A and B are shown apart, each in its own frame.
Chain A
Amino acid sequence: MTTTEKPQEFNVVGTRPIRHDGVDKVLGRALYGADIRLASMIYGAVLRSPHAHAKITRIDTSKAEAMPGVFAVMSGKDMPLVASGALDLGETVDDTAFTSDRIMAHSKVVYKGHPVAAVAAIDSNTGLEALKLIEVEYEVLKPVITLEDAMAPGAIVIHEGLIGSDLGEQVKNTNIAVHNRLEFGDPEAAFDQSKTVIERTFIISRAHQGYIEPHASTAFWAPDGKITVWTTTQAPFGVRKTISALLNQPLSNIKVTPTEIGGGFGGKIPVYLEPLAAVLSKKAGRPVKIQMDRRAVFEASGPGPGGTVKVKMGVDDKGKITAATADIRYGAGAYPGASIGAAASGIFACYEVPNVRVDSYDIVINMSKTAAYRAPGTPQATFASETLVGELCEIIGMDPMEFHLLNASKEGTRRPDGPLFPRVGNEGCLLAIKGSDHFKSTLEPSAEGKLRGRGMASGYWNGIGNKSSVTINVNEDGLVSLIEGNPDIGGTRTTIAMQAAEILGLPAEDVHPAVGDTDSIGYSDLTAGSRTTYATGTAAIEAARMVIDEMKKRVAMIWETEYENIEHIDGMFISKVAPDQKFTFKEAAGKLGQTGGPVALTGTVNVRGSGGGSFGTHLVDVEVDPDTGKVEILRYTAAQDAGKAVHPSYVEGQFQGGAVQGIGWALNEEYYTSEDGVMINSTFLDYRMPTSLDVPMIDTIIVEVPNVNHPFGVRGIGETSIVPPAPAVANALADAIGARLYQTPMNPGRILEALAAKQSGK
């Protein structure tokens, strides 16, 4: 599909209706994961390993089983042994055996918080008390926590069965699951020819998505073998597939109902509790609900990986990039799967780089397995590349905006992983920032002797398309209900409904969207990869077109004319041959009974690719207290390409939310981990996500460069916004304090050190 060059005109798309699920959510009626309450439901609790690395030598659950109020107890032996194999979850592919082991240890624990047993009891406190009666003996092993230790020759190997891939060669006895390389041109030769070349190494902290709703799942395993699951997930069909694979049950015996979801950002793609609830339910014969507490969420769910990124870049005398290389090393956690692929393709995506090489490493360490976190892998890599660009501009004396514009990737530019960009909005975002009041304003010096600085950075996220289904039912009163399969984390019911409404010629309010369970809607890939409004929206358009088509047939029947003679214009069905014959959608809908019965149609799509992805540029002013190292964000502007903003308020919201998450990662968020692999700051208090008092209003500029791959030009926009903040803040800090930081979080302690080092002339 191509979009016409002339901007399309829309009636619904681009407006700001009130979201359909909004009233339930402001009334407190919407049901989230933990809100499920079923008759005779009991409560699960999970016993977690205190060690990051240990063999389990004995588990005795008999005392817990004997405790009054306890209905069922399980451990690794109750999980079927599954063979290694690919578990394709739409955006990521995991291994079935590793996934089973991650969810409940069979013989060895490989991260602190690793489940070793679980109970189901009459209430949650009884469950917790019962856990204390489970005896587990461990043979504690030395944990492998740092990347250096994991990669060192002769390193302790975490998984004996892991076969690593080093540039395609199989490697045994390793913690390096994958080493990949992307390459084109001859970077070394190009560096030799360059006017200026700089190379820096950056360290990025492991950081948690920080969704406010902890994981919670409820399952009922009926005597007929049917398993029903209610869970807070981004991927109901992925949960179905995972349960089927891990518990050896037929896929179609499993029904997953996604509850409302209290944030995910990638962290609610993996399965954690569902199989445990199912196994306990089978044993107990009752529905079992399990909730994680916040500590477990931090310790045992999957944050975004930390790691090191070494970047080298060369420029000619005009500031044009000649070559760039990167070495990206991420700590995947206890099982392979840090998002190194996206990191490698995203790290230089904002630039036209004629000679590139990117090495990337997926490294296993004794911490919980990382998961996708908003633009997975890319904020970390971009912190390195965009901070390096900031310093390079300082060195060559070039304005960063001019550098970005001179080198910006555009239609036809090759991304490091190969593909050529179609029409994209990189330059559009740069120009939007350049034209903003913020950019044009002068940053006034502080009256109180504080240090102020301004910085910018760009970022990219490609996103995915993939499979979605949307069903539209036409009701006799002329309204339609719409069922889709993507959990709604931030207003996507509405953005999907709006796209259907646009085609149907109805106001957004007349389309009533709902998220279906896995039995009531066709297969839909997960809510992730910035795909929901984009790909599921495409399915909604498809379904709506089918509905209009069918309605035209019905109207033709009533008017006793040919289908070809019916037009659908501005929501009206009109006869070409008898122009006074007109039906509103409502009138036509009221007559469906006479013309062959209900209209209920499903659009299914498998959208290939994202259409080029979404670029963003952020600009930030910071103020540093030189005595304490404390940072205030004074002003922030985020520009990003939305292709076509379906609901501008929710587009702005994505920009703002991503910016603030990125600010948190930049300034304070990290896993403060002991040598034993224990996260010490596993509370919201000490993890320090931004509060409302820590950030200003976040100004947004929606750039609209239509996506050639979507009927309305829509791009997925959910993830890019977390990519630029950390380097933008780093560049602003450098501007403020005259010294550079190469490590997140750029917290007050590190800023004080940088200031002191600068003063002592180091």
Chain B
Amino acid sequence: MTQIPEQQFVHKVPVQCTLNGQSTEFLAAPYLSLLEILRETLGLTGTKEGCNDGNCGACTVNVDGRIVDSCLMLGVEAQGKNIETIEGVAPAGGLHPLQQAFLEEAALQCGICTPGFLVSAKALLEAEPNADEHRIRLWLAGNLCRCTGYDKIIRAVEKAREEMK
């Protein structure tokens, strides 16, 4: 809770949303990003912060079927939305084909970018089950990876694409 002089006190706002399939309620200081709410308030640290200004995609989450950078959305804007984070990608007790493909294709080195790539790629393959290499590269251009040179990430997405058919 931020403590500031009384006259400017900015109250927290109750927010209701669906988070990884569960109806969820939280209190959000209105100026906090969805990323901060997920990580600090809700303890979902799988969503990463790389830049806090929309340029790395490490904080990518899915909001109502669209991927967004959670650092560039306010937590209060989650009201009424359906949000999926990396913690919601795997089916209970298993892995999503993308997660499996990332492991098999060694598509992660340090792994900090991986949650963002997985959330982005999942949205792509759900919308475009036949996305080709160029389309995958374009779609993932908002996700930076500094370790892999992208090669194995692209191959993993292509592999998962085939699995998901």
Contact = CB atoms under 8 A, between A and B. Distances in A.
Q: In the complex they form, do A and B come into direct contact, defined as C-beta atoms under 8 angstroms apart?
A: yes
A577 interface: no
Given A27-B90, A489-B110, A123 B144 contact: no
A34 interface: yes
A125 interface: yes
A153 interface: no
B48 A26 contact: no
Contact of B153 (A122, A125, A692): A692
B88 to A, nearest CB: 9
A35 interface: yes
Most buried by B among A25, A26, A34, A490: A26
Contacts of A126: 2-4
Given A19-B103, A26-B114, A491-B106, A695 B150 contact: yes
Contacts of A31: 45
A698 B29 CA distance: 45
Q: Majority SS of interface residues in chain B?
A: loop
A327 interface: no
A16 B152 CA distance: 14
Contact of A653 (B29, B106, B141): B106
Contacts of B154: 692, 697
A717 B101 CA distance: 25
A676 interface: no
B147 to A, nearest CB: 5
Most buried by B among A19, A30, A34, A124: A30
Contacts of A124: 36
Interface in A234-271: 260-265
Contacts of B147: 263, 489-490, 653, 657
A35 B109 contact: no
Nearest to A208: B146
B45 A35 contact: yes
A108 to B, nearest CB: 30
Contacts of B118: 26
A19 B106 contact: yes
A212 B79 CA distance: 29
A429 B103 CA distance: 29
A698 to B, nearest CB: 5
Nearest to A685: B55
Given A29-B46, A697-B151, A261 B110 contact: yes
A140 B50 CA distance: 32
Contacts of A32: 45, 48, 112
B144 A691 contact: yes
B5 to A, nearest CB: 8
Nearest to A655: B149
Contacts of B86: 27-28
Contact of B106 (A16, A21, A125, A685): A16
B43 interface: yes
B2 A125 contact: yes
Given A122-B3, A656-B149, A26 B102 contact: yes
A27 B111 CA distance: 10
Contact of A660 (B48, B90, B150): B150
A649 B152 contact: yes
Contacts of B140: 691-692
A656 B152 contact: yes
Interface string A675-698: 000000001110001111101011
A214 B56 CA distance: 12
B81 interface: no
A34 B59 CA distance: 13
Contacts of A19: 103, 106
Interface string B84-109: 01110110000100010011111011
Interface string A637-664: 0000000000101101110111111000
A471 interface: no
A354 interface: no
Interface residues of A, number: 67
A693 B2 contact: no
B129 to A, nearest CB: 19
Contacts of B108: 22, 25-26
A114 B115 CA distance: 32
B109 A657 contact: yes
A23 interface: yes
Interface in A103-140: 122-126, 129
A556 B31 CA distance: 69
A212 B31 contact: no
Given A657-B146, A692-B140, A23 B103 contact: yes
B137 interface: yes
Contact of A293 (B47, B52, B137, B153): B52
A294 B52 contact: yes
A178 B54 CA distance: 41
B39 to A, nearest CB: 8
Most buried by B among A22, A491, A654: A22
Interface string A140-178: 000000000000000000000000000000000000000
Given A656-B152, A692-B154, A34 B106 contact: no
A213 interface: yes
Given A69-B2, A692-B143, A27 B99 contact: yes
Contacts of B67: none
Nearest to B111: A25
Contacts of B47: 28
B48 A37 contact: no
A614 B140 CA distance: 32
**Which 8 A/B pairs are nearest by Cβ-Cβ distance?**
A28-B46, A262-B112, A28-B86, A656-B149, A660-B149, A490-B109, A649-B106, A684-B55
12 contacts: A26-B99, A28-B89, A35-B39, A125-B29, A126-B3, A212-B58, A212-B112, A212-B146, A660-B149, A684-B51, A691-B141, A691-B144
Given A262-B113, A653-B148, A692-B143, 7 more contacts: A23-B95, A32-B45, A213-B110, A260-B111, A262-B112, A684-B55, A692-B141
Interface of B: 1-4, 29, 31-32, 36, 39-40, 43-53, 55-56, 58, 85-87, 89-90, 95, 99, 102-106, 108-115, 118, 136-138, 140-155
